[in-house]
Amino acid sequence: MRTFRVTELGKRPALTDMQPLPIDPGQARVDIRACGLNFADLLMTKGSYQDTPDVPFSLGMEPAGIVTELGPDTDGPAAGTRVVVFSGKDGLADEGVFPADRCLPLPDNMSFEDAAAFQIAYGTSHVALDYKARLQPGETLLVLGAAGGVGLTAVEIGKVMGARVIACARGADKLEICKRAGADHVIDSTAEDIREAVKALGGADVVYDAVGGEQGEAAFRATKPDGRFLFIGFASGNMPNLKPNHMLVKNITTIGLYWGGYLKFKPEVLTDSLRQLLDWYAQGKINPHVSHTLPLEQAEDALELLRSRKSTGKVVVTMGPNS
């Protein structure tokens, strides 16, 4: 089988051939049809992601496909079931062997491409906004990096939850995508003062920061008293320098979120969230935005789209028929 494999940290992965993996009790073999890419995949190639596997390993954290086999004495989706998997790795391959309890059956109306674009991005935003920040109808949500893989889902979910959404992104084309996702107001981070623009709109009750750096600092200064500031990621390469005395005076709560971390100590948070999200998808309330779909042979080009920030929403790699 083909797999897009990291053999040395700091060097670019390559498409290689390897023998299919054996299957053990508790596992399911999946014929992979599509896999979503994440910024974490880029970090893994350098060894700078918090959950980078030991080398060698294959990239791809969220494959979707068809179960072809269950391990001995294993309960799980039967062979032939269409599933999505939060695998953490090994999704950029023709097939994979994963824990059976991580294989989640898909709604009948969900394509493999949508499934591969769904789990981490929507899961991160839903757990952040609902479970962590307790976003309420009528509150104002500011999303930084709003045209990116997770940011765009925060715009959508914020609207489903009844918030007024301010989307901050780079350039007119990306802002237009944010508007189509439901943003009530947009801010061009390349041309506008984020702090002043948000304050002119009344400030933010909740800030969703997937960017960090100067944008995060500006957003913090536009957060209302008793607001909540969510640390989602640092796509700028820098963490925002937030002042604890300002948090104290304004009664601002700062909240960190690592979505995958809940698998280790409170997996029901993710399970409950994904059930809600799949129900919203089935009802047509949320719709994954995939800006680029490339075949496995072009996996390096797909990563470059993330590296160069030329994508919006999600980049998905496909391995077979998407049905």
Q: Is the pLDDT assigned to residue 177 strictly greater than 60?
A: yes
Q: Mean pLDDT throughout 305-319? A: 91
One-character DSSP codes across 164-220: EEEEEESSHHHHHHHHHTT-SEEEETTTS-HHHHHHHTT-EEEEEESS-HHHHHHHH
pLDDT tens per residue across span 15-57? 999 999 999 999 999 999 999 999 889 999 999 888 899 999 9
Q: Report the share of the chain in percent with pLDDT over 70.
A: 99
Q: Is the pLDDT assigned to residue 290 strictly greater than 70?
A: yes
Bigger pLDDT: 218 vs 323: 218
Domain range 121-260, its CATH number among 3.40.50.10710, 3.40.50.1110, 2.40.110.10, 3.40.50.720: 3.40.50.720
Q: Is the pLDDT assigned to residue 322 strictly greater than 60?
A: no
Q: Is the pLDDT assigned to residue 309 strictly greater than 90?
A: no
**What's the mean pLDDT when you consider all of the chain?**
94
> What is the per-residue pLDDT for 271?
86
> What is the per-residue pLDDT for 323?
43
Q: E strands along the chain, which residues?
A: 2-6, 14-17, 27-36, 57-58, 62-70, 82-85, 95-99, 103-105, 140-144, 164-169, 185-188, 204-209, 223-231, 253-256, 290-295, 314-318
CA 181/CA 204 separation, integer angstroms: 19
pLDDT tens per residue across span 88-117? 999 999 999 999 999 999 988 899 999 999
The domain spans of the chain are 2-118+288-318, 121-260
Q: What is the chain's length?
A: 323
DSSP strand pairing (27-36 vs 57-58): unpaired
Question: Which DSSP symbol is given to 297?
Answer: G
CA 127/CA 161 separation, integer angstroms: 12
Q: Which fold has domain 2-118+288-318?
A: Quinone Oxidoreductase; Chain A, domain 1 (3.90.180)
Is the pTM of the predicted complex or chain greater than 0.75? yes
Question: Which DSSP symbol is given to 131?
Answer: I
pLDDT tens per residue across span 191-243? 999 999 999 999 999 999 999 999 999 999 999 999 999 999 888 889 999 99
> What is the per-residue pLDDT for 321?
65
> What is the per-residue pLDDT for 47?
93
pLDDT tens per residue across span 128-137? 999 999 999 9
